[in-house]
Structures are given as structure tokens and as C-alpha cells.
Amino acid sequence: MTTPTPPSPLADGASLGVRFPHDAVALSLTALESIRKSGAAVSVDETVRAEHSRDWWPVSIGWAAQGNVPALADVVISVTTTEQVAMVLRHCNDEGIPVTPTAGRSGVCGGSVPLHGGVALDLTGLNRILDVDETSLTLRVEAGVFGPELESHLASVGSGYTLGHWPQSFDLSTVGGWLACRGAGQYSTRYGKIEDMVRGLVVVLADGTVIETDNHGPRSAMGPNLTQLFVGAEGTLGVITEATLAIHPTAPCEQRGAWGFASFDEGLDACRRILRRGATPAVLRLYDTIESKRTFDVDTNVLIVLDEADAHIVDATMAIVNEETQGATSLESSLVDIWLAHRNDVSALTPLWNAKVVVDTIEMAAPWGSLSDLTDEILAALRSVDGTMVASVHQSHAYSDGACLYFTFAGRVSERGESYGSLDAEENYYRTCWDRVSTLLNERHVALSHHHGIGMNRGRYLPDALGASFGVLQTLKTALDPNGIMNPGKLGFGEGSPW
């Protein structure tokens, strides 16, 4: 199988100046020689190291636009087997070398930035689809398989299958990345999130021990579910190398619809009622007037709906949707086509940062009872930051008890405003926006992140968000990674980052 090459925002001739702490040294020559003999590829080329030292965190894009690589891996090791991963981790654990697992590097929170140097462990060579069980509807797949490869293969088996996991980063992201960041796809109301799909994992621990979690059937009561311990751990507790996932036959029927609401709150309430009745359309997305105009060129609060499943299920689902949108204006279903055509487009990010326009999205999740007030408070918080040009919102994922909201903000700033040490004006503005919103989310005791994860960007907020339970997480980290080599500085673990 071929491995897609993600488009890179890294500027030609980028400076390799290091701004973050860099307390690692390269692996010993003995260790590197042993790793090479195992068949793993080892590179100390500066361009390769720079490429593997960033992801799609907007701040990282900003660094690349300026030709900077503030945190640089000492060496890139590319593996093709679980055994090679185990060997690399054993050597790194023995020598105290940090390891940052990487693959598609499509994350948007800095999770793939090697904060303390060391080894960037490239997992894209773990690219085999091992088995498709058409009877049990399960799939065994290695962690480095990219989304397009996976769905293409599933579509070609028998009468056709799908995982149903379609994140915005689909073209650039891998199975392992979805699991490590606890991702959710755009069709998640129908198919579930990645934690709903996974049945078991193969994980390599910091000392090189290989374990298999669960995978005894659709469900078990054999103690705590260790699979979920590693789903969302962002490579801080171990490296996922293989997964067993639930799949679905390709849907034989699809229906689409679009409606306009007088207010965002009215649209939220319609979504709540739809889910309350048990309908789970694959796509249920609501946009405020700013995003509706920008996305669809329509002056209203647009709700788009798409469902795919057995015809009887789709008919029942859309009947409920039609009943619960009676008070809204019916719009052309072609608006769904517009969304489908552009849903994975992130091409504007790099030009905007090049022009010193700071852009990002803050996604969160909360119960229906608090969403309306929170929407107003978060938009007000973003608009209160000096330099903000626009702040908008849309709902992307919904449940019977609440929903995920995405807040998009953009700003052009000067040297004025809050200062955070060595951060430049753009990064100061960016951090101020995140501080104000994340502080608000913690005060309201709602989810800091719905599916983007924590990485470096949200790490400073996680201890307060989890309270005493963060100590339990820290105890697990210490037990599984006593030398602290696994993706240090992420998920709120460790010190040394201005973020």
C-alpha cells in the first residue's frame, strides 16, 4: 500500500532554531545500529526531522509560515512492525530518550510536536489491513493505515463495507491517530465515535512490553476495559500498533434535507427534540448566521441533515426530522452537497497565518440545558479579546443529552494585549482567546474537548478540568511510563512548555 504524503505548511529553508526545552540527546550508536538491523529506518536528515516535528496545530502552522521549527526531533525512526516499535521503546526507556509517536500528524493541538527532542517514531509503515470478518462485521488493521486506504479496501470487500469514521482530517489521518486522540467523525450520530467502534488494541508499553487489550467479543465483563485506557491517551501511556474495529455494510439508502431557523437557539432545540425521539441521522449540523453566510451564502441559521442506512430506518429518521423542523423554513437539499464538497478543506489556514491573521476553532461539549447560555458566553469571550475580527459557531455532533459546538475565531493583532513571555503578538492573541474560553468551560464544568484531544495546547487546563481524578491519571502514567519517555509535555503531563 502507498502512504499518502500530507501537504506540509513547512516553509522552504526553514530555520532549525530551538525555542522549547530540548533536554534529550540522541540514542547511543549501539542502540541505533540495533534498530537499523531490525529493519527500521533511521534518519537524522534535518529536513526529515523538521517535517516530523510539527502537526496541523495552527500555532505550528504559524511557526512554519515564519520558517521556524521550535522543537526538533533528534532522530526519526520509521517502523513497519510491532516488534520494531517494542525494540525502539526498550532502547529509549533504557537510555531515557523521549519518544513522540507520529503518523499523519493531522492533529490540531500540538500533540505530535516533540517538545523535548528525542525520537519521532513514524508509524505510517504499519500500513496493513490484516483481516475483514464479513460475518462478525469486524476489521483488524494496523495503526498506520490512512483513512482513504481503509475505506477503499472495505468498499472492495464482498458487497462493500465502511467503518463510518469520517473526520475532517480523513485524507491526512490514520487509524492510530483516531484512537490516540479519541476522535469523532462527521457521521458519528449514525456510526458512533472511535471509542464506540474499537473492540481491542495491540499496544506497546514504554519498556517494550506488548499487550493485547480486550478483543474477546462485542463486550465483556472481565474487569475494567483497558482498551479505553489507551483510547485518548495521545501516546503518553503506550503506542497503539493494531486495532480491531466494528464495521458496517455499505448503506443502501440515503436522504438529505436542509432548513433555516430564525435563531441558533431554535435550531439547537430542534436538534435536541430529534435526538430525544431516538432518531440518529448520520449528519445533523447547525450553523449560525455568520457561518451560514460564509458556507452556504444563505441569510439564516442553516441546519443540514443527511442520513444513510437501510431504507426503512432512513424513512423513519427523516420523518422525525421533518416533524421536528415544522416551524423552520425548508431550504434546498443542495446545501448538503455544498457541505460535502468542502467539508475537508483546510487550504485557507496557511495563507491566513502567512498574512498574520490568527484563525482556529475551539470545540467543546455540554448538556442541552446549558448550551444556549454557553454559546452566548463563549462568543462574548472571544469577541472581547482585542484584535478579534469575527467569532462564530456551529453544532457538529449531537446526542440525546447534549451536543458539541465548534467556535471559530479570527483576529489580526498588534503588539498590544496580554503577554506570555517569549510568545509573539499572534501567539499572545491566540493564547488569550484560548485562556478566556477554556477558563469559562472549566468554571461551567463542561468538556474542554469533544474530539480534538488535549495535546500541548489544552494541557494547562486539564488538571483543573479533571480535579482529583487527574491525580489518578498521573498515577497511571507513572506506573506505565516511570521514566517519562512517552510523548512528554502532552495531556497535561510534565513541565517546560510555554503552552
Q: What is the pLDDT of residues 453-487, one digit of tens each?
A: 999 999 999 999 999 999 999 999 999 999 999 99
Which residues are bridge partners to 210 per DSSP? 204
CA angle 251, 255, 258 (to 5 degrees): 140
Per-residue confidence band for 20, with pLDDT thresholds at 50, 70 and 90: low
Provide the pLDDT for residue 478: 96
How far is 460 from 277, CA to CA, in rounded Å? Answer: 39
Provide the pLDDT for residue 16: 40
The closest of 190, 184, 231 to 451, measured between CA atoms, is 184
Provide the pLDDT for residue 422: 53
> What is the CB-side half-sphere exposure of residue 377 using CA atoms within 13 A?
14
Q: Read off the pTM.
A: 0.93
User: What's the DSSP call for residue 483?
Assistant: T
Q: What's the rounded mean pLDDT across residues 413-418? A: 62
Whether residue 444 has pLDDT greater than 50: yes
Higher pLDDT, 229 or 495: 229
Provide the pLDDT for residue 362: 97
Whether residue 349 has pLDDT greater than 80: no
Per-residue pLDDT reduced to its tens digit, 291-318: 999 999 999 999 999 999 999 999 999 9
Per-residue pLDDT reduced to its tens digit, 104-163: 999 999 999 999 999 999 999 999 999 999 999 999 999 999 999 999 999 999 999 999
Per-residue pLDDT reduced to its tens digit, 169-192: 999 999 999 999 999 999 999 999
Under CATH, to which class is 1-250+451-499 assigned?
alpha beta
Provide the pLDDT for residue 421: 53
Provide the pLDDT for residue 432: 94
Of 52-56, 156-160, 325-329, 392-396, where does mean pLDDT reach its minimum?
Answer: 52-56
Residue 207: CB atoms within 10 Å: 17
Indicate the domain borders of the chain.
Answer: 1-250+451-499, 253-342
Whether residue 14 has pLDDT greater than 70: no
Domain covering 253-342: architecture: 2-Layer Sandwich (3.30)
With a pLDDT cut of 90, the percent of the chain lying above it is 82
Fold agreement between 1-250+451-499 and 253-342:
no
**Mean model confidence pLDDT for the chain:** 91
Provide the pLDDT for residue 5: 45
Burial 325-338 (b: 16+ CB within 10 A, else e): beebeebeeebbeb
Provide the pLDDT for residue 7: 39
Provide the pLDDT for residue 356: 81
Per-residue confidence band for 425, with pLDDT thresholds at 50, 70 and 90: confident
CA angle 465, 469, 472 (to 5 degrees): 135
**Judging by beta carbons within 10 Å of its beta carbon (0-12, 13-18, 19+), is residue 113 exposed, middle or buried?**
buried
Decide: 447 and 375 in contact? Cβ < 8 Å.
no
Decide: 32 and 126 in contact? Cβ < 8 Å.
no
In sequence order, what are the residues at sequence separation of 6 or more whose Cβ sits closer than 8 angstroms to the Cβ of residue 153? 129, 132
How far is 468 from 457, CA to CA, in rounded Å? Answer: 21
